């Protein structure tokens, strides 16, 4: 063993598998595998992005002052307590890096976002899985999994890959049941798809509680996935810890400006939310009609639906057959969902198309 060796816990990490964007044959495909906004991004964000082509030689604002002010104004937060990163993925790594290490435990739900496991293992901590309740977050199971060694609980709400949603009273109960030394990370990547009355109370907890961090992203409803802009809100102490380990220039200039403009694109956000509600409802109704073929949609509050296959046609067969017909969806055997396909709600044409293909496949 003369060659340098990576830490043992690093080699135990299963590499992240992104949603595919090309088919096996290389033929053009409809990509419904990464929960991107089918309407693209707002004209405001696009204009802000192209306006910064003259700034390529300069480093971006390391303090992201304009972006932090805009986020704080939009959500009535303290700009000094907004952390930002290369996607919210980076924020998830920062919180793990600041609060967990070898010997510590980090809890996630059984069907959780894949980055939590990577962020946990990266720092040498131990991942603890809390059982689900029919694919949904089970607060009692999470609380039962807490030990003296627990440092972080990761909960995405709505959750990915299940789409399930825990209402405000459940999130409040989860927080109330956690010991104060445990950091509750509420990943709200899909929060903008909820109606205001469906707010899970996470930001209010983050405003007032030392052990709550909320994360958000510009990758989903704002349609800026290519620019990698995420943010988080927590106590001044937690934010100060994360700043010490983040990449100094983590958010590009054009990305910061596009994100600021995106926050102001209220019409685009509302139209995206409405489009998603209409076509998710239609999608669910159509899946219900395929119940006799063993298909079932897990109730979703996000911009995708997890479809379970318990009939003659398996999820794997359907995944491959959809690919042949030009639709890439997400099959997640690596996350314990060998019987499920996660399908992003696309444009009307894409959504009708993937459903027609599914009907053919299970007929």
Ligand X SMILES: *Cc1c(COP(=O)(O)O)cnc(C)c1O
Q: Which residues bind to ligand X, rule: CB under 6 A?
A: 87-89, 113, 156, 160, 187, 189, 217, 219-220, 225, 230
Nearer to ligand X, 139 or 357 (CB): 139
Nearer to ligand X, 36 or 138 (CB): 36
Question: Rounded to an integer, what distance in angstroms lies between the CA atom of residue 328 and that of residue 311?
Answer: 21
| Residue 305: closest CA among 335, 322, 283, 275 | 283
Min dist. Cβ of residue 198 to ligand X (A): 17
Residue 302: both structure tokens together: 């996000």
Question: Which spans in 289-347 are helix H?
Answer: 315-324
Min dist. Cβ of residue 215 to ligand X (A): 7
Min dist. Cβ of residue 332 to ligand X (A): 12
Using CB positions, name the residue nearest to ligand X.
87
Nearer to ligand X, 89 or 350 (CB): 89
Question: Rounded to an integer, what distance in angstroms lies between the CA atom of residue 159 and that of residue 115?
Answer: 13
Nearer to ligand X, 138 or 187 (CB): 187
Question: Rounded to an integer, what distance in angstroms lies between the CA atom of residue 341 and that of residue 331?
Answer: 5
Nearer to ligand X, 219 or 293 (CB): 219
Residue 162: both structure tokens together: 């299940």
Min dist. Cβ of residue 190 to ligand X (A): 7
With b meaning 16 or more CB within 10 Å and e meaning fewer, what string describes 185-200?
bbbbbbbbbbeeeeeb
| Residue 89: closest CA among 243, 225, 256 | 225
Nearer to ligand X, 305 or 313 (CB): 305
Min dist. Cβ of residue 108 to ligand X (A): 11
Residue 119: both structure tokens together: 């962020």
Scan for tokens 């937690």, then name that residue.
238
Question: Rounded to an integer, what distance in angstroms lies between the CA atom of residue 151 and that of residue 105?
Answer: 6
Min dist. Cβ of residue 117 to ligand X (A): 12
């Amino acid at each position: 063993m003369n060659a340098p060796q990576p830490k043992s816990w690093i080699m135990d990490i299963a590499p992240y598998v992104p949603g595919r964007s090309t088919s096996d044959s290389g033929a053009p495909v409809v990509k419904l595998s990464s929960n991107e906004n089918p309407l693209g991004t707002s004209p405001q964000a696009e204009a802000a992005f192209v306006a910064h082509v003259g700034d390529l030689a300069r480093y971006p604002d390391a303090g992201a002052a304009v972006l932090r002010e805009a986020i704080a104004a939009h959500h009535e937060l303290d700009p000094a307590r907004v952390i930002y990163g290369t996607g919210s993925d980076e924020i998830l790594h920062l919180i793990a890096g600041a609060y967990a290490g070898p010997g510590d435990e980090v809890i996630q739900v059984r069907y959780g976002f894949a980055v939590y496991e990577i962020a946990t293992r990266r720092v040498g901590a131990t991942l603890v899985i809390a059982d689900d309740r029919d694919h949904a977050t089970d607060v009692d199971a999470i609380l039962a999994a807490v030990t003296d060694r627990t440092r972080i609980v990761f909960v995405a709400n709505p959750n990915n890959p299940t789409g399930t949603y825990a209402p405000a009273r459940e999130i409040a109960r989860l927080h109330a049941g956690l010991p104060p030394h445990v950091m509750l990370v509420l990943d709200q990547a899909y929060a903008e798809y909820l109606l205001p009355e469906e707010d899970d109370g996470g930001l209010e907890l983050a405003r007032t509680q030392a052990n709550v961090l909320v994360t958000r992203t510009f990758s989903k409803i704002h349609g800026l996935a290519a620019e990698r802009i995420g943010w988080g809100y927590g106590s001044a102490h937690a934010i100060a810890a994360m700043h010490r380990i983040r990449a100094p220039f983590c958010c590009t200039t054009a990305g910061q400006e596009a994100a600021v403009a995106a926050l102001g694109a209220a019409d685009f956000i509302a139209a995206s939310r409405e489009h998603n509600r209409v076509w998710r409802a239609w999608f669910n109704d159509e899946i219900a009609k395929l119940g006799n073929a063993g298909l079932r949609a897990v109730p979703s509050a996000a911009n995708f639906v997890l479809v379970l296959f318990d009939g003659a046609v398996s999820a794997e067969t359907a995944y491959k057959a959809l690919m042949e017909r030009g639709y890439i969806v997400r099959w997640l055997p690596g996350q314990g969902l060998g019987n499920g396909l996660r399908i992003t709600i696309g444009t009307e044409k894409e959504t009708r198309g993937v459903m027609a293909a599914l009907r053919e496949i299970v007929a």
